[in-house]
Chain A
Amino acid sequence: MRTSGVVLALWLTFLFPVVVRAESNGCIGCHIDDTMEERARIPAERFKDGVHAKAGLGCIDCHGGRNSDEFMQAHSRKNGFRGKIKSADQPEVCGNCHDDPSRMAGFGAADLATGQADRFNRSVHGSISPVEGFETPACTSCHGTHGFAAPSDESSPVHPARVPETCARCHSDLTYMRAFTSARVRVDQLIEYRTSIHGQRLAKGDEKVAVCSSCHADHLILPASDSRSSVHPLNVAETCGRCHSDPEQMKGYEISAPDGTSLPLPTDQQSRYTESVHYAAMTENGDLSAPTCNDCHGNHGATPPEVRAVATVCAQCHSRPAELFTPSEIRKDLDTAGFPECATCHGHHRIVPPGDALLAGIARGETVAGWTPLPAYRADAQGFLDGILGLKARIDAVEETVAAAENYGMDLTKARLELTRARDHLIRARVMVHAFDPAQMMAELQGTREEPGGLIYAERAQNLAELAFGERAYRRKGMGFALAIIACLMVALIMKIRRMESRKAQPG
């Protein structure tokens, strides 16, 4: 009796569940059971609702082992059971199907993109070296585990509405981020994003707006310093343009005009930007610090600058014009009229090199933004233009004289230095336009009591060149004089020789 009691107990403990499970269905059958501890049960519950279960996949397709009701069979390493899939192994395991178009087609997912694991392996996430105590990012870090859903499904962590939070799980965690990157790493991207137009609209349920992956790519995420990255300075305009240049995508979005009315959001920013001086500075001169979209609009906190903030944005780099423009009268007038400060004359996106033609336009009463300057401003503009062109013409003329003198072998080092100073003032006069103040302009051109202006320096150079010419004339005269003396000497010598010869001929 005692023996049969023990047998019963053993049977109840071990064999009874097997019998029960034998009626159900492999891994899921056991794992879904209420008696199963949570960490083993929840995956099974989630899995049966996911896309993989629907495609006919089972646990063993990822975890290995046997789809058996018998514990040892199911979990035997000999049968390839691997348990939890380590981060480092995930790209390979997932890539087995997701990098193989024919396999994907076999699951009825022929229209699904492939190659994600391969792209991930080449990304910044895929090349992180493991750090003790921290899990490196892999497929499941973003896509979740077991209950995989399509990104279009709201339950997916990579559904557009959830992408920012998903990325922020790591990227807003300073301890985690510091484990893998430099101590200066940023972790405020999500906070900034929420202040952006994109983030604000996303919060209101607009799923068309850009989220992290729209700009940073999804699997092949590369650091901005990598020239292949979609957020490398040279590629930013193209990246933003993928949405902002697409009329279909931008349909329904509006921007407010200076007069307070709303206009449809334009889609020509990228094409206009590529004609700008900024784009040329970056692409032709290789100056990667030249601005692209995010330098004026912000990146994570992207938002169009308010009309009155334009000067502040431009001043980030153009601090000297801003210094002159900020306290000026013309700025106040523009603000009152609701015109976008710098952009009134220089335009936006397609900002062309500023030149004398721009000033001539203002003198004629024309500006890019359609503002009509008061007659006094027009007269000032004409005065500035005349002054600048006058100084330029003077410098050119002096330069010619100096070059001519140098051609004669004269040393014009000092004249060249004065010309350099004159040219400095010409450049400064062009910047001085931003103050729109005739007195300050005069100081650059003519000079003040304390500091000479461009014209004075040009004059000094001219005088030095003339001195050099004077010296040359003097040397020429000297040369002529010397030649005359030589000629006289020769004549006298010839006469002397003749005389001596005639004396020798008639002795006595």
Chain B
Amino acid sequence: MDRDPTLRSRRSFLDMVIGLGFTGLAAAVLYPVARYLIPPVRSGPGTRSVVLDPDDPAQVDPETRIFVFGSRPGILVKGPGGQWKAFSAVCTHLSCTVRFQAESNQIWCPCHNGLFDLNGRNIPGTPPPRPLEEFEVHEREDESGKKTLLVSKGRSA
């Protein structure tokens, strides 16, 4: 038995510090780990694919048909044959963001009136010199039967 009360209280203080220290250490170690692991996968410029619900206005703007592909805009349209087509929405003229134009059923660049057809091909006589970069689109169905689109950069792109 320890008869010295000061010694005893010092010891219990030390134990407390150690206890708290371990708790803090555990928290300090686990927190960043959790913080790095849980947040959504980074979607930087290196993004190669995105899953889209074409009817969700939060994902694909119903008017401009723009969606977010990494840190750049993409555009999702129904091609001439009714199949989904996705392109980079970066105009091949001076890199403005193109959008779908319902009246003409074309892809239109508001900066210099550049036009692309629904196959992404630049319309001659308008400024863009090249077609839009095309993404691959695969239709998928999840367990609930909901249709989504997997839009990805082509292997060559």
By a beta-carbon cutoff of 8 Å, the part of chain A in contact with chain B is 281, 285, 287, 289-290, 316-321, 323, 406, 411-413, 416-417, 420-421, 423-424, 427-428, 431, 475, 478-479, 481-482, 485-486, 488-489, 492-493, 495-496, 499
Of the candidates A281, A289, A424, which one forms a contact with B111 in the assembled complex, judged by CB atoms under 8 Å apart?
A: A424
For residue B54, which residues in chain A have a CB less than 8 angstroms away from its CB?
none
B71 to A482, Cβ gap below 8 A?
Answer: no
B78-86, B122-130, B132-140 - the one binding chain A: B122-130
Q: Which among A316, A423, A475, A489 has the greatest number of chain B C-beta atoms within 10 A? A: A489
User: Do residues A319 and B126 form an inter-chain contact, with CB atoms below 8 A?
Assistant: yes
Cα A263 to Cα B43 with chains together (Å):
63
- Kindly provide the distance from the CB of B130 to the nearest chain A CB, expressed in whole angstroms: 8
Nearest CB in chain B to that of A487: its residue:
B21
Interface residues of B in 64-78 (CB under 8 A from A): 68, 70-73
B124 cross-chain contacts in A, Cβ below 8 A? 289
Residues of A within 8 A of B146 (CB): none
A458 to chain B, nearest CB (A): 15
User: A420–B25 contact, CB under 8 A?
Assistant: no
Given contacts A320-B111, A416-B45, 12 further A-B contacts (CB under 8 A): A289-B125, A289-B129, A316-B125, A413-B43, A416-B71, A424-B96, A475-B35, A482-B24, A485-B28, A492-B21, A496-B14, A499-B14
Contacts of A482 in B (CB 8 A): 24-25, 28-29
Question: Are B18 and A427 touching (Cβ within 8 A)?
Answer: no
Chain A contact residues: over half helix, strand or loop, or mixed?
helix
User: B32 near A: Cβ within 8 Å?
Assistant: yes
A499 pairs with B11, CB closer than 8 A: yes
Q: Is B110 an interface residue (CB 8 A)?
A: yes
B111 touches A423 (CB 8 A): no
A-B pairs with beta carbons under 8 A, tally:
99
Which of B17, B32, B126, B129 makes the CB contact (< 8 A) with A492?
A: B17
Contact partners of A316 in chain B: CB under 8 A: 125
Q: Which residue from chain A places its CB closest to the CB of B31 in the assembled complex? A: A478
Q: Once bound together, how far apart are the Cα atoms of A285 and B130, in whole Å?
A: 10
Assembled-state Cα–Cα distance A289/B121 (Å): 14
Decide if B113 is an interface residue (CB 8 Å cutoff): yes
Residue of B nearest to A290 (CB): B129
Q: Give A427 to B17 CA distance when docked, in angstroms.
A: 62
B97 contacts the other chain (CB 8 A): yes
Separation in Å of the B145 CB from the closest CB of chain A? 31
20 pairs, CB–CB < 8 Å, chain A vs chain B: A289-B124, A319-B113, A319-B126, A321-B112, A323-B113, A411-B39, A413-B71, A416-B45, A416-B72, A417-B68, A417-B73, A420-B97, A423-B95, A475-B32, A478-B31, A485-B21, A489-B22, A493-B18, A496-B15, A499-B14
